[in-house]
């Protein structure tokens, strides 16, 4: 069932993103007088199609991993003399720039609309209260303590752990100090804390912004009660069921969920005797955790089970909501911040500050899309907005084959007064295909590594 949900979620996400992207090209092309031959969502043989009064074919194709807008163009096929004025290649360079850039801009517009909906409807989060500071850690050296609520990072206000993580990821590679502000209670005045760092998060895989500083977020105690059990994994094979309360492991009483998790992680391949409470009855099962090797080569145990959710106290809940007009500015600001963060992450990956293994391909996108859909509409819309921004940024990179590569040629043409030669464009096409193909293979490889 989870696999089907993941597939459906990624089809919905990619379908929306591709449709908006291609509609951007289509809409501006029509306004510039270019005849559009086909608007296709997906590649391959059309499963459904129809023609409008302008002769444009709208199609949904079999492979839902992209799409395209095919325009009248003398470079692709002969054009009747009476339609030459509608050919893409006959338009001015600035009109061609507008048509090509409209696709990525449509993705940014979609992200703004998605964030606007979230901000108007209101998003729920929890206060970024420190639950624990590891002794001797950078955060401990700076004086941060358990119970402090973080209010600003790098002199920018934050209202959630997500905000903090985004600010910290933007600081990858920093040396010196990270500026934090925190308060002891809701009534107290925030104080400044300077956390020392050296090559912060450089080549850490995966990056752990908070753990690297020694900060553990506060969370309510989670009783050792199973909320979900994954079919085919160790927990299900042992007969464990959702609702089971873990009482003891090999005779040792289990205090809470994390205590149980640590027992499992340290028992890869070992058979454990687990006592559980099920519907008021005490039962005993034999559980053998599977083996999983994490990034640093350490082997840990896993059983394929999750904890039953618990409610957060009201004083830790935060509701972020804006009026319709104020939400416009907030949505544009969030989109701009996420765009700059994405560009900065690409730069840091190119210079070696971020490991290429953080690249994500279709498998990871499907998993995250499915997880966010199961979590709720708020998480799904937020993921859709971020992925739309990523698609817009990726398409604007100056790589032949992508929209950014075409824009590079057109801007050169605008400066020189004549087009880039067909020979140069052909060479660029081969280089672009090689780059994009390599990038896709790398992303798929890292997807498979994460999956295994």
d(CA 112, CA 336): 9
CA angle 169/173/179 to nearest 5° reads 65
Angle between helices 2-31 and 93-121 (to 10 degrees): 130
Distances from the Cα of 422 to the Cα of 79, 257, 399, 418, 425, angstroms: 19, 64, 16, 12, 5
CA angle 354/357/363 to nearest 5° reads 135
* Site of tokens 């030669």: 421
Maximum separation of any 2 CA atoms in the chain, in Å: 87
Extract the tokens encoding 105.
């801009």
Strands 290-293 and 215-217: unpaired
Catalytic residue (choose from 22, 162, 245, 283):
22
From 200, 206, 207, select the one nearest 178 (Cα to Cα).
Answer: 200
* Site of tokens 């998060």: 201
Q: What is the 3-state secondary structure (H, E, C) of 378-434?
A: HHHHHHHHHHHHHHHHHHHCCCCCCHHHHHHHHHHHHHHCCCCCHHHHHHHHHHHHH
Contact 436, 359 (CB under 8 A): no
From 116, 37, 143, select the one nearest 334 (Cα to Cα).
Answer: 116
Contact 41, 15 (CB under 8 A): yes
Q: Does residue 22 carry a catalytic annotation? A: yes
Phi-psi region of 254 (alpha: psi -120 to 50; beta: other; left: phi over 0): beta
d(CA 446, CA 428): 27
Radius of gyration of the chain (CA): 26
Give the active site residues. Answer: 22
């Amino acid at each position: 069932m989870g696999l089907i949900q993941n597939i459906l979620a990624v089809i919905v996400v990619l379908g929306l993103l591709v449709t908006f992207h291609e509609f951007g090209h289509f809409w501006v092309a029509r306004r510039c007088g270019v005849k559009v031959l086909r608007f296709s969502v997906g590649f391959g043989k059309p499963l459904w199609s129809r023609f409008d009064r302008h002769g444009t074919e709208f199609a949904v194709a079999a492979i839902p991993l992209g799409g395209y807008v095919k325009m009248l163009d003398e470079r692709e096929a002969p054009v009747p003399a009476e339609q030459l004025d509608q050919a893409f290649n006959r338009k001015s360079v600035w009109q061609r720039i507008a048509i090509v850039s409209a696709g990525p801009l449509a993705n940014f517009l979609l992200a703004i609309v998605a964030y606007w909906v979230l901000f108007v409807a209101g998003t729920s989060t929890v206060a970024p209260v420190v639950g624990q500071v590891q002794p001797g850690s950078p955060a401990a050296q700076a004086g941060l303590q358990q119970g402090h609520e973080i209010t600003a990072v790098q002199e920018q206000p934050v209202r959630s752990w997500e905000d903090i993580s985004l600010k910290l990821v933007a600081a990858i590679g920093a040396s010196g100090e990270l500026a934090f502000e925190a308060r002891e209670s809701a009534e107290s005045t925030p104080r400044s804390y300077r956390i020392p760092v050296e090559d912060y998060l450089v080549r850490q895989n995966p990056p752990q912004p908070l753990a690297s500083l020694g900060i553990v977020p506060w969370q309510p105690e989670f009783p050792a009660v199973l909320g979900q059990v994954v079919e085919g994994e160790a927990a299900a094979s042992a007969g464990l069921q959702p609702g089971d309360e873990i009482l003891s492991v090999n005779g040792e009483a289990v205090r809470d969920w994390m205590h149980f998790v640590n027992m499992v992680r340290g028992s890869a391949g070992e058979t454990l005797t687990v006592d559980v409470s099920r519907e008021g009855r005490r039962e005993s099962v034999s559980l053998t955790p599977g083996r999983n090797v994490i990034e640093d080569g350490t082997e840990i145990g896993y059983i394929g089970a999750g904890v039953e959710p618990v409610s957060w106290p009201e004083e830790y809940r935060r509701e972020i909501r804006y009026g319709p007009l104020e939400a416009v500015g907030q949505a544009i600001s969030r989109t701009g911040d996420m765009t700059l963060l994405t560009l900065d992450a690409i730069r840091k990956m190119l210079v070696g500050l971020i490991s290429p293994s953080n690249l994500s391909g279709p498998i990871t996108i499907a998993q995250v899309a499915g997880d966010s859909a199961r979590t709720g509409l708020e998480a799904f819309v937020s993921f859709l907005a971020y992925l739309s921004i990523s698609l817009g940024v990726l398409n604007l990179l100056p790589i032949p084959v992508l929209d950014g590569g075409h824009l590079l040629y057109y801007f050169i043409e605008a400066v020189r007064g004549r087009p880039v030669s067909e020979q140069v464009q052909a060479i660029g096409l081969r280089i672009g295909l090689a780059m994009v193909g390599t990038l896709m293979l790398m992303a798929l490889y890292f997807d498979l590594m994460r999956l295994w």
